[in-house]
Each structure stands twice: as C-alpha cells, then as structure tokens.
Amino acid sequence: MGAFRIFVFWLVAICLGCGSAHAEKRVALVIGNSAYKSVPKLTNPVNDATLVGGMFKKAGFDAVDVRLDVSAADMRRALREFAGRTRDAEVAVIYYAGHGIELDGANYLIPTDAMLETDGDVLDETVALDRALFAVEPAKQLRLVILDACRDNPFAKTMKRTVAARAIGRGLAKVEPTSPNTMIAFAAKAGSTASDGDSKNSPFAAALVDRLPTPGLDLRKAFGFVRDDVLKNTGYKQEPYVYGSLGGDDVPLVPARPAAAPGPQANPQDSVRRDYELALQAGNRDAWEAFLQAYPDGFYAGLARAQLKNVAAEEARTAAAEKARQAEEAKARLAAERANKAEQEKAAAAKAAEDARLAAEKAKQAEAAKAAAAEQRRREAEAAAAKVLADKQAAEKALAEKLASDKAAAELAAKQAAEKQAAEKQQIADTAQKVAAVAPTSSQPSLSPQEAAKLVQSELRRVGCLALPADGDWNTSSQRSLTLFNKYAGTKFDAKLASLDALDAIKAKQGRVCPLVCDHGFKADGDACVKITCRAGYRINDDNECEKVQDKKPVATREDANKRDAERKQIEAAPAKPSASGQMICNNAGCRPVKSGCRLSSGPRYGHGGMAVPEIEVCN
C-alpha cells in the first residue's frame, strides 16, 4: 500500500505542477465594454466583466484590475500598465468582453469611443489582439487570454470599404499563439458569433465562473467543461474554442487544496478511502489503473472502475470532439478558401472592367483632344487667311485712295496752271493793247522808263522768265529775269535797263523761252507743274525721280526737301495781306501780295540743276 500511496502522491504532484505557484504571483486584467457611442449599447459585457473579476479575486489572485467602458486611450494605457505587472508574475490572465472585429485575418478589440466609418479606421481606433498577447508574454508559467467578443458586430455592417477585396469576417479569426504555455479562449469558434443569452450574464461568462475556479482542475479540462456547458445552454448553437498548447503537466488556474495529514487509521477502509480520494484528485487513467491494481475488489474498486469508464468516455468524447473540431476547421478553411477565391475572382473581374473603362475613357479623351487641336488649327488658318485678305483689301483701298488723291491734285494743279496761263495771256494782251495805244509816233513823245519797264516785265512773264507781276519797278528780280532771257534766247541786252530793243526782241518770241521750274515732287507738263505720282513701293528721290523704297533712314537732302515743302505749304495756307510796298510773290501755284511786315529776299537763288528760282518771302 505504501508504494501505491507514493505513486498516487507523485501523480497528484504532477497534476498540481504549479503547487509552488500557490505562493507565487498571479495577476489578471478584466475589461468590459457596453456603452458604445456609435452603435447600440450592449447589456452583458459590463456584468460579465464584474462577475469574472470577482471570480479571480475569490480565487486568490494577487492583483485583479477591472476596467469598464474604456476608450481606446484608456485600453492601451491599461494594457501597458498590466504588462509591467506581468514581468514578475507566474500566471497572467486577460479577460475581455465587448465588441471585436476581424480584418484581413487579424483580430481587433473595439473601445467604446470607436467610430469605424471606414475599414481604414480599424487600425487607428481599435486595439489589436496582438497587443494583449504582448502584455501577457512576460509571465513565466501561464499566459491566458479569454475573449468574450464574438458577438454579431454592427460596425462591420456600416463601415465603408476602401478596398473591395478587403475581407471583414463574421466573428473573430483563428489565432495560433507563437509563445509557449499560451492559451487563447474564444466564446465561439472562429468565424461564428456568440450569444449574450437571456439572463444577466452571457452563457460563456457563467460557465467560466463555474468551471475555472475548481481547485486543481487542469485548464484544458476546465475549458472542455465550459464548452459542454455553453453547447448545452445554447441548444448547441454556440461552441467555445481554445487555441494554443500547454505542456504535459496539468495547469490549473487555482491550485489544488493540500491533502490533510493522514491520521490514525481506524480500519483498512479509511486507507482505501484516502487512496481513492488521491486518485480522484488526479482524475486520470493512470491513477485509477494504479488504484485498481492495489485494490482490485471492494466498494471503492467498483467506484474506481466507474471513474475509469468516465475517463474513457471523456477521452472518447474529447477525441470525437477533436476530430469534429478538425473536420469543422477543415470545412471552415475550405469555405474560407472558396470564399477568398470567389472574392479574388470578383475583385479581378471588377479590376479588369475598371481598367477597360479607364482605357476607353483615356482613348476618348485623346480623340477629343485631337479633334479640339484640329479645330483650333482650322480656326487659326481661317483667321490668318481672313487677316491676309483684309490686309490686301486695305492696301488696295489705300492705293486706290492715294491714286485718286494724286489724280485730283494733278487735275487741280493743271487747272490752276491753265487759269494762270490764261490770265497771263490776257494780261499780256492788255499790255500789248496799251503799248499799241501809246506807241510813239513821229508826233508823240517816247515812253517813260517806268512804262517801258512795265512792258518789258509783262513780256518776260509771257515767255516764262519772270514770275512776279509787272509793276514798272525794274528791280533785281526784273534784271535777273532779263538775264535768263539773254541766256536762253541768245541775246545780249543790258539787264540793268528796260530798253525798247529788249522789248521788241522779247515780243518777237511766240512761246516760252525760259524753262518752267517746278518744286520738288512736281514736274513740268507744258506750261504747268503737275505732281509726280509713283507706284506702290516707290518714292520720289532727291533727283525728282521715282525709286524703290529702301529700309533705311531718309538722307539729309530728303529731309531738307520735306522741310521746304512744309514751308511752302505754310506760306500758301497763310492769309494774304497786302504789303505796304505793293510787291507780289509768285510760284507755280500762282501769285499773291507780299505779307505785311515781310519782304522779298535779295540776290539770286538757284535751285535744282543750278537754275534760278523766284525770291522767297522773308518776315521779321
């Protein structure tokens, strides 16, 4: 019997592998979120967190931190503080009740202030499950995270997706812890949702409080009992699931109570009973088989065989459940793969359609741009052609106006010259009549010098050698006119005297003797000066001839000629006032009296080609 007791004691020591943990540190963080601001309030999470927190305190945990309705900042702060407490702890447990969400295969815990308008907000407004696993990682013996967050999540229904192929799951996704001695318990298996139930607490929280505090009960077995209780209470609609693995030793959340010291044995049955209790505490096949080897008969042997059958049934049930779980996982994995494949195909088709639409739109825009460019070029060509046509029409119109103006000016000059010539002829005729009337006879006296001078002046005007009117004053201008007559008529009369011989010689000339001298820009046409007209692109040069316009500045002689023309036009435009001396000034346009206060220039003037020209008016 002593050998059996030693064996059973060894088994119990193994089952209570953390027997020393009774004196070692155990810490827990409990979070319950009910009062969500953006979605309807949850009823049970706060109640469940309060119940589970009380359970940990009754189980003798060294530190239990219960947080209710926490924001994102408060949740992160609580996890950071809890991570500091787990550094010197053997057991660390986190319990969370509230909303959770799965995004692209990762799980997130949702604080009460989360809005989650788009799927991108999940990364900013929630707390990743990995953050909770990071907080319990420093614990030396056991790391446990319990998630009662598999409820039907309203955020997933309302948030907008920024990427069509992004997966948002129903419930939480499967998790495989990478750290040893780590367990993650879900209220419902991956991909399914949990029920809040009809009572104050959810079925999962009630089962946890009922099973986990059992002294010496291995966690794996405790969660198996929790699974059975939840399945039964939800009509087999909700099945809790545990992920992760522990070692071969039993790991209870609450260590087994130490066995009472053996007292004096009153009878053999007391020893059998104590051994039965030890085997019962171990609760496994090895313990019951050892007990039956020691006590093959009797009342306790029958009980031991019944317990062994229960262990076998539990092992069979566990094996069946594991097989069913594996089949369910395979089924869920295949369904997820099919769903992902269908979603990927749908996303690929949508992307191909979008690419085709964008390509068509781009081609349409390119065609529109080409058409607009062609239309712009057509309009520019039409505008250029219209401008060329308008410029041509304007040039033709300006040329026609210039030709008309030049023709009118020439006609006016010719008319004025004809009128002037007729007036001079009439004046000469009148003078001849007077001369005939006063011609000396044998009985009449001779002409006075003034009368003779006036007759000579009249004849000089007739033959084109004198521009001034005949006034009887044989002045310098008259003398210069007689000199011109001598030059072109081949005579040698004394220019200082107005002799009758000179008068007879001049009268003998029937037509013009002295050449007609015209201003710059005019040419002689018979007895009149007409304006010179050049065709387009040509101008009058200093030689009074038409030459092609060159792109250079006018020479000084051209500017002087223009200045003389301006002076002549100014003199002609000024109103004529009789001068005190009664002198007249003449040019090709006619004769007029010298202005008051002005005088004729003295001395001969020579124009183009060295020919003498009439005097000009000099005013003070």
* Residue 60 belongs to some domain of the structure: yes
Nearest to 457 by CA among 471, 439, 438: 471
> Do residues 480 and 612 make contact, with C-beta atoms less than 8 angstroms apart?
yes
Measured distance CA(325)–CA(269) in Å, rounded: 44
Q: Which residue has the tokens 């309807």?
A: 40
Mean pLDDT of 545-565: 70
pLDDT digits (tens, 9 = 90+) for 269-292: 778 888 888 888 787 888 888 988
Instruction: Identify the band that residue 5 occupies on the pLDDT scale cut at 50, 70 and 90.
Output: low
Q: Which residue has the tokens 């077995």?
A: 221
**What does the radius of gyration of the chain's CA atoms come to, in whole angstroms?**
68
**pLDDT at residue 34, as a whole number:** 92
Average pLDDT, the chain: 82
Is 440 strand, coil or helix? Answer: coil
> Do residues 110 and 126 make contact, with C-beta atoms less than 8 angstroms apart?
yes
* Residue 35 belongs to some domain of the structure: yes
> Which residues form the domain of 196?
18-255
Mean pLDDT of 158-179: 77
* Residue 138 belongs to some domain of the structure: yes
Q: Identify the residue with better confidence: 571 or 77.
A: 77
* Torsion (CA) 311, 313, 319, 320 in degrees, nearest 10: -160
* Residue 387 belongs to some domain of the structure: no
Measured distance CA(41)–CA(47) in Å, rounded: 13
The residues, ordered by sequence, that sit 6+ positions from 282 with a Cβ below 8 Å of its Cβ are: 8, 11, 12, 15
* Residue 164 belongs to some domain of the structure: yes
Report the Cα–Cα distance between both ends of the chain, in Å, rounded: 166
**pLDDT at residue 533, as a whole number:** 86
- Cα 502–chain centre separation: 102
Measured distance CA(575)–CA(41) in Å, rounded: 112
Q: Which residue has the tokens 């062994």?
A: 308
Angle between helices 203-211 and 219-233 (to 10 degrees): 140
Which segment of 26-30, 400-404, 575-579 scores lowest on mean pLDDT? 575-579
* Residue 189 belongs to some domain of the structure: yes
CATH number at residue 188: 3.40.50.1460
| Token pair recorded at residue 369 | 């741009």
* Residue 137 belongs to some domain of the structure: yes
pTM for the full model? 0.42
Q: Which residue has the tokens 């809005």?
A: 115
Residue 581 has pLDDT above 60, yes or no: no
Instruction: Identify the band that residue 432 occupies on the pLDDT scale cut at 50, 70 and 90.
Output: low
Residue 328 has pLDDT above 60, yes or no: yes
What number of other Cβ atoms are within 10 A of residue 229's Cβ? 18
**pLDDT at residue 518, as a whole number:** 77
| Token pair recorded at residue 572 | 């002609």
> Do residues 33 and 69 make contact, with C-beta atoms less than 8 angstroms apart?
yes
Residue 441 has pLDDT above 50, yes or no: no
Q: Given the DSSP bridges, would you call strands 26-32 and 106-109 parallel, antiparallel or unpaired?
A: unpaired
Q: What is the largest CA-CA distance in the chain?
A: 217
Residue 442 has pLDDT above 50, yes or no: no
**pLDDT at residue 22, as a whole number:** 43
> Do residues 577 and 584 make contact, with C-beta atoms less than 8 angstroms apart?
no
Instruction: Identify the band that residue 259 occupies on the pLDDT scale cut at 50, 70 and 90.
Output: low
Structural domains of the chain, count: 1
**pLDDT at residue 586, as a whole number:** 67
Q: Which residue has the tokens 């799951």?
A: 169
**pLDDT at residue 32, as a whole number:** 95
Q: Which residue has the tokens 């399945």?
A: 231
Nearest to 136 by CA among 97, 178, 84: 84
Nearest to 175 by CA among 138, 133, 142, 124: 133
pLDDT digits (tens, 9 = 90+) for 171-230: 688 888 888 889 999 988 876 777 766 788 899 999 999 999 999 899 999 999 999 999
